Structure 1
Amino acid sequence: MGSWVKKALGAVCALALLAAPASAQVPDPFARELAQQLAQAEVILANEGYVRAAGPFAGGLSQRSSREYNVTLRAGQDYRIVGVCDSRCRDIDLRVFDQNNSVIAQDVLADRVPVVQVRPRATGQYRIELSMYACGAQPCWYAVNVYAR
């Protein structure tokens, strides 16, 4: 994929992050930083046949706080859920819960880019939980996309 396409994807992602609802609006330059990270992930996942199914979900979290998003996932479909956080963030975790409140996928490694892979057994609403484990500023900014194939 050409570098101009990657830059265009990054610009589109940045605009989407900046245009988020006021409660989740990410200020520049953090929006650009997050958009670039998501664009890089999107290029890799596109090469594996994934397309964005939901997101970006974005906002700010203080250390030891979390935020949840509900998404509809289809039975038997492959999903990758990718989270990114700004350079002041040291660790953000991602969990996916089913309708019974059971964790069906998680990335709780000490990293800034959690990625989970999930193939739901049933179509329905699933809950994505982001937890800011370690943050060098208040708040640290994050963004999440859901990809499907």
Structure 2
Amino acid sequence: MYKHKNWFIVATTNIIVICLIQIIYLLMLSNTIETFIFDITIFPLIIASINIILWFSKFKLKFSRHVLWAYVASLLSFIISYILIIDPNKETTLGEVDGDSIYIMMNTVMQSIVLLVLTGILYIAKIIFTKKNKKILEEGC
């Protein structure tokens, strides 16, 4: 039961925080921070830092579970950004809606690529960190 509780907390934290960040950006910060910079650098770094914090907390899960929920939260933020950007109440031409949809999908693909690279870097860092800790514990220092 303890692992299921950890699993639920990690999943909920990822989904809520990442979706809230996307909503806050789209509603409040989109005029201050350029969209491309936010989508390609800041957003994936926030996802990675959330999972680093969760990894070093007491909620120990396999690395793959953290990554899984980061990607699920990223997918949900894609859906939220699609809902917030494409407003059906606005009078827009059909081409504008298509353009917005393509833009959102391209951003999601770019975010996923950056997140995949960050995941690889974090996995290598995790392996190195755990090997160093094992060596220190074995030596008794």
TM-score normalised by length of structure 1: 0.27
Instruction: Answer 1 or 2: which has greater strand percent.
Output: 1
- Larger Rg: 1 or 2? 2
Instruction: Answer 1 or 2: which has greater helix percent.
Output: 2
